[in-house]
Amino acid sequence: MSKTRQSDQQISLDLSNEPDDKPAPSAPTRAHDTDALLASPDKMDALLDQWQQMEWIRPLDVGFARLIRTLSAEQGEALHPLVLLLSALVSHQVGRGHVCIDLANLFADAGSILSLPPEDSVEAAGGLRTGETVCPEPDSILARVSLEDSLALLDKAQAVSDGSLTTPLVLNETRLYLRRFWRYEQRIAEGIQARLAMSSPLQDAHSDMATTLGLALTALFGPPVDIDFQRLACALAARSRFSVITGGPGTGKTTTVVKLLAALQAIAGKSGQRGGRKHRIRLAAPTGKAAARLNESIGGAVSRLPLSQLPGNVTPDDIPTRVTTLHRLLGSRPDTRRFRHNRDNLLLVDILVIDEASMIDMDLMASVFDALPATAQLILLGDKDQLASVDAGAVLGELCQRAADAHYTPETSCWLEAITGHSIPDNLSDASGQPLDQAVAMLRKSHRFSEDSGIRTLAEAVNTDTLDAGILRACRDGEFDDVIWLNGRNPTPEPSNALAMICSHAVSGTPEAFREQGRGRIANHQPLPPPVGYHQYLSLLNNHELDERSPRVDWDSLALQVLEAFSDFQILCALRKGPWGVEGINDLVARHLLAEKHITRAEGWYPGRPVLVTGNDYNLGLMNGDVGITFSVPWDRNQQGEPKDTLRVAFPATDGSDGIRWISPSRLQQLETVYAMTVHKSQGSEFNHTCLVLPDRLSPIMTRELIYTGITRARNWFSLITGDASVLRDSVHQQVRRASGLAQRLSQP
């Protein structure tokens, strides 16, 4: 670490002569305590250690701050305590999903930006008091420093640069980054901008290739009548080496991208430059579950394509139907963030399609751009309103910030009209639209839910922050065919009663809770399948007639049926810990199923135990998010040579073969029981019937995106159980705001 020294002029924090109107630190923090912290690196270090002991910040955060101090000392610099504090805080924010920490926002509202102390901390607001000892909170310290002084101190620090030097911290305007995440953001922005800047042979709407695109779209969508946003999305994505197609559930993202790929292959087949050679296309998703779901839907979408009507001699073999995980595609290396495919070993691909892109964090997206050939086309699919990735970054959300209003330039609008026959509405046009806007398409019509669907109504109200008393009353009173708020009539239910309701619901799905079972209709007016609970998969598992003489193919068939039945119903929780979290609900449901004699035990391994893989296991070929069911199978022999029952966990194969992989429980290391899963873990999945469990109090994790994601995991039925009715209403007003500079980078010329 090295940095050219600036002037040694002392930067004064002027702690003793503050303006009279500056707010005083909140009690019980004392001003002179804070002054001492800002004057002594040792005292600041000790404070960070206290915060770690109270679990306000992680050991990693403290360790990083101390590393910065050590490296600075090696350069002959006495690190200022404020820089030590900010080093720990930027690491803390990365752990909370932020790519950086925006110091302007931090100094304006440190309490809400940092969420320190945590809401579930045992210490009272104002700090930990032990006798006469007070542990100040971050906002009380930062309140005594100005943004300007902090920027000056960071600019002077040896550990910080603008990125041109190899320093562990990077300051870009008012955003402070860990260098690694600054590089991720930079690589993603460079990869997108380079592709957006590439000229397209389709740009001339009267060229042969553009004419082929228009003919292909007519074959795929029919003659243009009413404005079709799927058609517009295909046209827009076809002319750019980078594109995003976003839309809510049922808007047809899979159908759209399959038609897009068919159109691109038609153009390639007619292209003299390519000599009729078709594109090499790969399909990927962030998790095994998301890949499996896309596998299920894409084959049917390809089979419905009118390929014989397309120009370019497109065949079914030209449209891939096999989906892999991104980690498998890139070639994961165990125990490292590096991949086999990188800038020195590029993927052999012309077009890469990534589904469920909202789940991709900054690290993984940067790795995708590293592994893509410079001319390869990247197409991202996803719902911009879903939860962001668990790790740092909200890439899709940033790319789609302006998607609702499109911002298509007059040039783009004219081109789209020439290619598709659709006139672009005035409200989607913008003469000052940015280059990224011209590559983002939003699907706006749901083909899954009817206009009067409760799931659709509730999801839209949550997403637009228009959830009112009328919609809540309709959910509570069963006025929707497909939505029920089971304990909505009781604003503050007795916890034991609400938890018992969860157990009952988990077993049966309580179809009687819905106004008329089977009355609901999906958009094409077909009856909805009835709501179910976990009794369905357990009944299949416990009442089969297979034995040691049954061929393995029959056991595979049974496992597929059980796994499909299990995926019909899922409890989703906002929290992980506590009685309302995944850990408490899983234990509660297991004990209830044991009491009802659906399972033989409630702990450890037993037939019927559903498990969720929580970490990638490359040796077993299992990925984070894969779900399996435990079976008792008579395949082993005892000492007398007689068949004996042995536990095996059945996982669906992820190669699209409908096969089953049977794995011994002893080989599974990272997993948890999954009668309930977090809403975060449910991303990339859909269930016939979903029950969302909300806790009895609000927390920072309870956001609009979380509620929306939980609701939209339901394909046909949605039920809600709350510990407190106000939590639903209040959560909708909280939004995920992840600090990053990606959108700003892409908006710059």
Task: Confirm if 197 and 411 have CB atoms less than 8 A apart.
Answer: no
Task: Confirm if 232 and 430 have CB atoms less than 8 A apart.
Answer: no
pLDDT value of position 82: 94
Which backbone phi and psi does 156 adopt, to 5 degrees?
A: -85, -25
Q: Strand 377-382 and strand 351-354: pairing?
A: parallel
Helix, strand or coil for residue 440? strand
Highest mean pLDDT pick, 361-365, 547-551, 697-701: 361-365
Does the annotation place 211 within a ligand binding site? no
Does the annotation place 270 within a ligand binding site? no
Query: How distant is the alpha carbon of residue 701 from its chain centre?
Result: 14
Query: What distance in Å separates the CA atoms of residue 63 and residue 481, rounded to the nearest whole number?
Result: 54
pLDDT digits (tens, 9 = 90+) for 75-89: 899 899 999 999 999
Q: How many residues does the chain have?
A: 749
pLDDT at 26 > cutoff 70: no
Query: What distance in Å separates the CA atoms of residue 677 and residue 684, rounded to the nearest whole number?
Result: 13
The residue behind tokens 């962001």 is 388
Does the annotation place 250 within a ligand binding site? yes
Does the annotation place 723 within a ligand binding site? no
Helix, strand or coil for residue 171? strand
Query: What distance in Å separates the CA atoms of residue 716 and residue 724, rounded to the nearest whole number?
Result: 25
Q: Which residue has the higher pLDDT, 663 or 111?
A: 663
Task: Confirm if 357 and 393 have CB atoms less than 8 A apart.
Answer: no
What would the mean pLDDT of 158-187 be, rounded to a whole number?
94
Task: Confirm if 185 and 740 have CB atoms less than 8 A apart.
Answer: yes
Backbone φ/ψ region at 331: left (φ over 0), alpha (ψ -120 to 50), beta: left
Helix, strand or coil for residue 424? coil
What the block records as the tokens of 680 is 């975060």
Q: Considering only 51-65, 272-286, 570-584, which range has the smallest mean pLDDT?
A: 272-286
Task: Confirm if 330 and 153 have CB atoms less than 8 A apart.
Answer: no
Does the annotation place 249 within a ligand binding site? yes
Query: What distance in Å separates the CA atoms of residue 263 and residue 279, rounded to the nearest whole number?
Result: 11
Task: Confirm if 709 and 683 have CB atoms less than 8 A apart.
Answer: yes
> What is the percentage of the chain residues whose pLDDT exceeds 70?
89
Does the annotation place 577 within a ligand binding site? no
* Domain ranges, ordered by start, for the chain: 34-118+136-177, 198-446, 454-523+568-628+666-733
Q: Which residue has the higher pLDDT, 56 or 132?
A: 56
Query: What distance in Å separates the CA atoms of residue 294 and residue 299, rounded to the nearest whole number?
Result: 9
Kindly state the DSSP code that residue 385 receives in the 8-state scheme: T
Q: Which residues of 565-603 are buried (b: 16+ CB within 10 A; e: fewer)?
A: bbbbbbbbbbbbebbbbbbbbbbbbbebbeeeebbeebe
CA distances to 87, 284, 312, 384 from 266, in Å: 53, 22, 4, 29
* Closest C-alpha to 301, from 253, 246, 266, 249: 253
Q: Considering only 159-173, 456-470, 487-501, 546-560, which range has the smallest mean pLDDT?
A: 487-501
Task: Confirm if 57 and 51 have CB atoms less than 8 A apart.
Answer: yes
Mean residue pLDDT across the chain: 85
